[in-house]
Amino acid sequence: MSSAVQLPGGRGLRAFARATLPAWRGPDGRPKSAGDVLAAHRGRGPGFDMARLVLSLAVLAFHAIITAHGQEAQDAVLSGPFKPAFLAILPMFFALSGFLIAGSLERTKSLKIFIMHRVLRIVPALSCEVFLSALLLGPIVTAYTLHAYFTDPQFFSYFFNVVGKIRYYLPGVFLDNPLPGVVNFSLWTVPIEIQCYVGISILILLGLASNKKAMLAVFAVAMAGQLAGEIHGVLAPNPKDIVTHYTLFSCFIGGVAFYLWRDRVKLTYLGMAAAVAVMAASFSTSAYYAFAPACAAYLIVCFGMAAFPRIPLLSDGDYSYGIYLYGFPVQQTLMHYFPGRQNWAFNLGLAIPLTVVVAYLSWNLVEKRALYLKDHPRLRRFMAYPVRQRSRAAFAAWRGRVSVASGGR
């Protein structure tokens, strides 16, 4: 057994204890709340960067199974003892997103600024990945001629990924892989993420998103709705699915609710053990997934409040989104060029360093530069106008550029 997962007394648990005990316990030995830890760190959870990195690499590890061995291998894994661990990844990701976005909403207190921030965080990197896949990766690995590739309807439809209309295929790409044809299966969560943003925007308009009791009620209704749907077979989990779209939405709402109630969320090992047990029971048996969102939200909050050691280089940016976006195409490309080495360990061993390098470039060349626009003076002034005034200002600026270009005529 590796040191990272040793039994009690092992190096992995000792490292976890060192990261959590000082952060979770007060001077009197009593457990702190998530709100206590956030207040001590200026509103930032000290462990969230590590949590995002670990979850994104866990997605990479899960995808190594299907890209190296195909759909049947993944189905077999989801029928085995590791099923709860893999199924917990995305619920925790979405709960983390809800928790962090609730904090962002509290700081901005503006729906239009919130939407602008989400667009700047999601769209530039997503667009870059889609265009690189279609215009660079596809022409290199396609089995078609370049003329056939660039004139195929699949090529043009692939760009719908930018607006959340997910397309997995490019003409003639990865046809002989264990998972044939699929360019980037990770994109299936993009529409769900957009739906979460739409949902929270509606709650903002209704005045509920910052109301603690209202959001707790919304979360309870979401879980009750899922439970009722599962009982009646409407939202019943499919063994071949990772998790349902509704489950991930509930996890997102759970993250928002946990943020609002952060002063009441106590960080304890007993709570973590109970959350792990309930979520494992939900995912490993025929129990309903409706109980998983609360468990996922609690677990990710606990990890986010832990003081994990910083990793040099990887602590200088948020590479989790880049790893999530580019991991699958990197793994499929490896299987394309190494058809005789189609196994999980080889796939993951090469995919991790290659994907981290690409994610590093994505962060520094695209994502970070896009986020700088949030504080650009012109954009801030533009967002300060009401919608009608912004439209008039944009039209006036456009007319001024046209006038200059035409020599003032």
Report the half-sphere exposure of 153 (CA within 13 A, side-chain side). Answer: 0
What is the per-residue pLDDT for 238?
61
Could you tell me if 99 and 297 are in contact, meaning their C-beta atoms sit under 8 angstroms apart? Answer: yes
Count of Cβ atoms closer than 10 Å to residue 196 Cβ: 23
Helices (H), 236-376: 245-260, 269-284, 292-304, 320-337, 344-362, 368-372
The helix/strand/coil state of 5 is helix
Q: Number of helices and strands (H, E) in the chain?
A: 20, 0
Q: What is the rounded CA–CA span in Å between residue 178 and residue 175?
A: 9
The predicted pLDDT at position 6 comes to 40
pTM: 0.86
Instruction: Count the residues in the chain.
Output: 409
Cα 285 to Cα 74, 81, 234, 290: the distances in Å are: 17, 10, 18, 13
pLDDT of residue 291: 86
Segment 342-371, tens digit of pLDDT? 889 999 999 999 999 999 999 999 999 998
Q: Please tell me the distance from the alpha carbon of residue 202 to that of residue 266, in angstroms, as a whole number.
A: 30
Q: What secondary structure letter does DSSP report for 289?
A: G
Tokens of 125: 């990197």
Residue indicated by tokens 């879980």: 223
Within 8 A by CB and 6+ apart from 43, the residues are 103, 107
Residues of the chain under the 50 pLDDT cut: 1-9
Say what the pLDDT of residue 307 is. 81
How far apart, in whole angstroms, are the C-alpha atoms of residue 136 and residue 357?
A: 17
pLDDT in the model for residue 26: 78
3-state secondary structure of 324: helix
